[in-house]
């Protein structure tokens, strides 16, 4: 409701939040009872009137700049899911900032660079994101920069949003090591079973692996 100027129906809210309309009606009633400035009724729609329901979020000028710069970066380089999430997050942050901080949001000191155009993905990033969250091994068809096609079973760990490409960080069963796969070169993806262990441990090992690569590249003999 914070991001909309017109009344929004319970049906639309239920669709966006993936809950039932009954849940929306109950939660709206609870929020109104707690003092939220919500107006409307069932069948017509609801609107959130101006006014602070939450206490002002106390951020310094630099903290506001950092938050807005990060969200604008996501808006430029993220996929559709992350762009939508960034817009909602920006609306939520703006709604609980002081009036002075809200004014600074509209006149930022820092700006992101020009937006990039990324190669199209065959496999939606949201499918990869879901596999990461659910700790699911995936069977992918991958084409490297020389055009060589291979079939890999990988344990997806993280997505990386680089300046010119988006990549999947994963443990590769074929190489028995961590590997990076450009998402636009993943041809097809088949979910398998869950991999053993915890993703947090894989993240820790991946970071150590990447730190080791960085140290190797900085060494006088590294080439």
Looking at the domain assignment, is residue 171 inside a domain? Answer: yes
Torsion of CA 134, 137, 141, 147, to 10 degrees: 100
The model's confidence at residue 5, banded by pLDDT at 50, 70 and 90, is low
Domain span at 80: 61-105
pLDDT score at 168: 96
Residue 216 has pLDDT above 50, yes or no: no
5-14, 49-58, 166-175: which range is least confident on average?
49-58
Query: Same structural domain for residues 92 and 71?
Result: yes
Question: Do residue 96 and residue 133 come from a single domain?
Answer: no
Q: Measured between alpha carbons, how far is residue 135 from residues 44, 128, 207 in Å?
A: 42, 10, 18
pLDDT score for 163: 78
Residue 115 lies in a domain: no
42 and 94 together in one domain = no
Say what percent of the chain tops pLDDT 70.
87
What integer pLDDT is reported at residue 58 of this predicted model?
Answer: 65
Examine residue 4 and state whether it is found in any structural domain, yes or no. no
What's the pLDDT tens digit per position in 156-213? 999 998 878 899 999 999 999 999 999 999 998 999 999 998 899 999 999 999 888 7
Give a yes or no: residue 16 inside a domain.
Answer: yes
Q: Do 205 and 169 share a domain, yes or no?
A: yes
Domain presence at residue 56: no
Give residue 223's pLDDT: 34
Would the pTM count as exceeding 0.85? no
Mean pLDDT for 86-94 is: 84
3-class secondary structure, 124: coil
120-140 per-position pLDDT tens digit: 888 889 999 999 999 999 999
Instruction: Determine phi and psi for 160, rounding to 5 degrees.
Output: -115, 130
- Same domain? For 65 and 42 the reply is no
The region that residue 18 occupies, defined by phi over 0 for left and psi between -120 and 50 for alpha, beta otherwise, is left
Is residue 170 domain-shared with residue 214, that is, in the same domain? Answer: yes
pLDDT for position 105: 75
Mean pLDDT of 67-86: 87
- Using CA atoms, how far residue 11 sits from 22, 41, 60, in Å, is 9, 12, 38
Q: Are residues 162 and 97 in the same domain?
A: no
Same domain, 139 and 80: no
Asked whether the predicted pLDDT for residue 7 surpasses 50, the reply is yes
Q: Is residue 118 part of a domain?
A: no
Domain membership of residue 223 (yes or no) is no
Identify the pLDDT of residue 222. 35
Overall domain count for the chain: 3
Report the mean per-residue pLDDT for the chain: 83
Tokens of 66: 């950092």
Max mean pLDDT range (101-110, 139-148, 205-214) = 139-148
In terms of Cα–Cα distance, which of 16, 19, 15, 7 is closest to 43? 7
CATH number of the domain that residue 157 is part of: 2.30.30
For 165, half-sphere exposure in the C-beta direction (CA atoms, 13 angstrom radius) is: 11
Kindly write down the DSSP assignment for every residue of 140-188, as one continuous string: EEEE-TT--EEEEEEEEEEEEE-SS-EEEEEEETTTTEEEEEEGGGEEE
Report yes or no on 168 lying in a domain. Answer: yes
Cβ pair 135, 165 in contact under 8 A: no
- 180 and 98 fall within a common domain: no
């Amino acid at each position: 409701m914070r991001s909309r100027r017109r009344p929004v129906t319970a049906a639309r809210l239920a669709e966006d939040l993936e809950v039932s309309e009954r849940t929306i009606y109950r939660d709206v009633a609870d929020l109104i009872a707690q003092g939220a400035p919500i107006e409307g009724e069932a069948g017509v729609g609801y609107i959130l009137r101006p006014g602070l329901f939450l206490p002002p979020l106390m951020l310094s000028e630099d903290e506001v700049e950092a938050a807005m710069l990060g969200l604008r970066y996501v808006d430029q380089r993220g996929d559709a899911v992350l762009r939508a999430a960034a817009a909602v997050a920006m609306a939520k942050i703006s709604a609980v900032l002081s009036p002075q901080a809200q004014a600074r949001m509209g006149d930022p000191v820092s700006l992101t660079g020009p937006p990039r155009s990324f190669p199209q993905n065959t496999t939606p990033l949201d499918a990869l994101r879901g596999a990461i969250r659910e700790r699911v091994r995936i069977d992918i068809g991958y084409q490297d920069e020389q055009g060589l096609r291979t079939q890999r079973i990988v344990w997806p760990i993280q997505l990386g949003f680089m300046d010119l490409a988006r990549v999947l960080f994963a443990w590769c069963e074929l190489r028995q090591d961590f590997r990076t796969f450009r998402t636009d070169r993943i041809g097809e993806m088949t979910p398998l079973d869950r991999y053993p262990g915890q993703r947090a441990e894989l993240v820790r090992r991946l970071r150590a692996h990447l730190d080791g690569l960085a140290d190797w590249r900085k060494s006088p003999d590294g080439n």
